[in-house]
Chains A and B, each alone.
Chain A
Amino acid sequence: MLDGFAALLEPETLLYLVGGYLLGLIFGAIPGLTATLAIALLLPFTFAMELTNALVMVMAIFMAGIYAGSVTGIIVNIPGAPSGAITTIEGHVLMKRGEGAKALGLDAFASSVGGMIGALVLMFIAVPMSRLALQFQTPDKFSLVVLALVTVVAISSGSLAKATVSLTLGMMISTVGIDNMVAQARFAFDSAQLVEGVRLLPAVIGLFAVAELLVQAGSSRRAEEVASLRTRRRDFIPKFSEIWRIGPITYIKSAVIGVVIGMLPGGGAAMASFIAYAEAKRTSRTPEEYGNGSHEGLAAAESANNAMCGGAVVPLLTLGIPGDSVTAIIFGVLLIHGLVPGPQLLETNLDAIAPMFAALFVAASFVFVSVVLFGPYYIWLARMNRAVLYSFIAMVAMVGTYASTFSVFQMWVALAIGTFAAVMRVMGYSVIPMLMGIILGPYFEEYLRRTLITNEGSPLVFFTSPISLTLLILSVVFVYVLRGRAGAIRR
């Protein structure tokens, strides 16, 4: 693991780490842009990068993007990403009270602490988890995919039916092309290009970059007028007394909640901050401050959503199951470089993956440093000209698709999926389940069919295998807990 930290000392790798961190900060801080979009746009570039540099950069974007989602939330009451929504509740109240620098400082400190705890958990649990994962047989893997798909639907905002629609459409897209077990073209309509199927990259670019571009074109929001604030860099460093008043227990407990939710397929930063905030309020000695600029509530939400980064990577690396859209794209980065996430990955390629763990830890420490350096400029970032921003995104999305596939057809695919995804968003559907369907659909099909073939068509093995049965029971429990918990909090 120490070799991972040593790898970061290579000048080129360090440059990618810092560059990725800055890119994540910019994308996370700008409303409408997210870490997911930044990583999706980076995907074409990773083709030409060394694996270590690509993974280090992706991790830095992930950590910075999740953190920065709260920055514009605090400043202008518009979270840059869903993960910043809870922080916004407390942070913007502090901002209106003239305590914006303090809010940004506490926010960054909590993000750093949570992010580091998440990275440490990843370093010390990922390898034992991967050994456990080796016990998984095909029926168990199928049940695990079911757990992931069910949880993605359960945590989606809106109705279960809409989330199921989105997931099913994604799985349908994954069925286009040659069947993965027999030589049979499906839904190709005699098109040589459709026989190849829909590639991951145009799908991701379409779902996030193109759809975001179209949705933003539909909104006439102009740059928010942000009050001119005179702040000094030292205003962004929280006082020890303020941190002590929040309490180490709040930071640690929230980080643990973040890591655990991150490990659940579909958990996500927004869910992590949501539940950590609710838990901190439940045990707080000053619950009346919540909603009125509570430092404790702000710290709990931020500590949890950055700790989620470490947790989210565990199931991807150990079981080959991407838990959210970012890890789904990281899945793609690994595949592009010939590594298949799953039980064998850490056993055989730990040297290639270790810098990724180290990058997460170091990027978490960058969070606090960056608020001191860039705090005064965050306001400027939030006011960036939309013409510059969206022209750049339009170019990178479409040209990036071509540059990575050398296919105009894949540009059409990205545009078609993006247009459809934009319509779905307007109609109130989340596109995250759709991405999960595209990613996990082939695994769902392969494991199910392989199990049925080897068991003469009988599905009983899913209930007689202890691991499979446990995972299927967990699927039911997750639907109950995730839907019930979220519903209880909303009420």
Chain B
Amino acid sequence: MALNARAIFALLLVVLSVAYFLEALTLPTPFQQGEPGPAFIPMLLAALLFVSAGVTVLGEMRTDAAATGERINLKTMTLVGLTIAFVGAFEFAGYVIATFAYTLAVAALFEAERGRSTRRIALVSLAVAGGVTLAGWLFFVRLFDLYLPEGILGP
């Protein structure tokens, strides 16, 4: 029995179920007015998550964690950070600038894994970012007439 990463994750879900239950307690009590009310299902769900996540904790502690082949590393976290920056800047910077910068960084992130020179990575990423930004604009704005923010490039 060992507390591995998967067991800790399941344990966090147990904690989540308790927090969710405590928040559900702030809603009107079920069956007080003769009907289930808005807290009824959340309380059931909190109990279900508590039990199923609890069983999972025990299961993960008893067995060696088998790798799924999927993992989180610095590149994953970098991508999350880039996406946070993109969403944060999207309306202010506008679609063109924000998307170009975002896809440039994403392309560089994936292109770097091929072990090419910095100059080549930069050139490929610039081309990809330009192409993807243009494709998105053509699809969303020209083809489907959907609104995208113009940001600092707007009137």
Neighbour of B125 across the interface among A45, A182, A387, A453, CB < 8 A: A387
Distance of A387 Cα from B36 Cα, bound (Å): 52
**How many A-B contacts at CB < 8 Å in the complex?**
196
Distance of A175 Cα from B27 Cα, bound (Å): 12
Please determine whether B35 and A218 come into contact, CB atoms closer than 8 angstroms. Answer: no
Please determine whether B113 and A391 come into contact, CB atoms closer than 8 angstroms. Answer: no
Majority SS at the chain A contact face: helix
Distance of A261 Cα from B129 Cα, bound (Å): 43
**Interface size bracket, B side:** 35 or more
Neighbour of B70 across the interface among A159, A392, A425, CB < 8 A: A425
Rounded to whole Å, the gap between the CB of B103 and the closest CB of chain A is: 4
The yes or no answer to A489 lying at the interface (CB within 8 A) is no
Please determine whether A222 and B71 come into contact, CB atoms closer than 8 angstroms. Answer: no
Please determine whether B128 and A165 come into contact, CB atoms closer than 8 angstroms. Answer: no
Across-interface contacts of A169 in B (CB, < 8 A): 13, 49
A residues 367-403 near B (Cβ < 8 Å) are: 385-392, 394-396, 398-400, 402-403
**Proximity string of chain A (420-451) to chain B, C-beta cutoff 8 Å, 1 when within and 0 when not:** 00110111100000000000000011001100
Contacts A391-B110, A394-B103 given: A181-B38 contact, CB under 8 Å?
yes
Which of B13, B35, B90 gathers the greatest number of chain A CB atoms within 10 Å? Answer: B35
Please determine whether A399 and B76 come into contact, CB atoms closer than 8 angstroms. Answer: no
Please determine whether B52 and A165 come into contact, CB atoms closer than 8 angstroms. Answer: yes
The yes or no answer to A214 lying at the interface (CB within 8 A) is yes
Distance of A449 Cα from B38 Cα, bound (Å): 9
Please determine whether A390 and B106 come into contact, CB atoms closer than 8 angstroms. Answer: yes
B residues 1-49 near A (Cβ < 8 Å) are: 5-6, 9-10, 13, 20, 23-24, 27-28, 31, 34-38, 40-42, 45, 48-49
**Proximity string of chain A (443-476) to chain B, C-beta cutoff 8 Å, 1 when within and 0 when not:** 0110011001100110000000000000000000
**Interface size bracket, A side:** 35 or more
Across-interface contacts of B86 in A (CB, < 8 A): 398
Across-interface contacts of A182 in B (CB, < 8 A): 37-38
Please determine whether A392 and B132 come into contact, CB atoms closer than 8 angstroms. Answer: yes
Distance of A215 Cα from B84 Cα, bound (Å): 17
Contacts A388-B128, A411-B87, A422-B72 given: A161-B136 contact, CB under 8 Å?
no
Please determine whether A402 and B27 come into contact, CB atoms closer than 8 angstroms. Answer: no
Nearest-neighbor residue (CB-CB) of B7 within chain A: A427
Distance of A51 Cα from B121 Cα, bound (Å): 42
Please determine whether A415 and B41 come into contact, CB atoms closer than 8 angstroms. Answer: no
Nearest-neighbor residue (CB-CB) of B88 within chain A: A408
Across-interface contacts of A411 in B (CB, < 8 A): 87, 90
Neighbour of B83 across the interface among A394, A402, A404, CB < 8 A: A394
B residues 78-101 near A (Cβ < 8 Å) are: 78-80, 83-84, 86-87, 90-91, 95, 99
Please determine whether A165 and B13 come into contact, CB atoms closer than 8 angstroms. Answer: yes
Across-interface contacts of B28 in A (CB, < 8 A): 184
**Proximity string of chain A (208-225) to chain B, C-beta cutoff 8 Å, 1 when within and 0 when not:** 001001110111101000
* 10 cross-chain CB contacts under 8 A: A175-B41, A184-B28, A213-B79, A215-B76, A219-B70, A391-B107, A396-B136, A448-B41, A453-B35, A453-B36
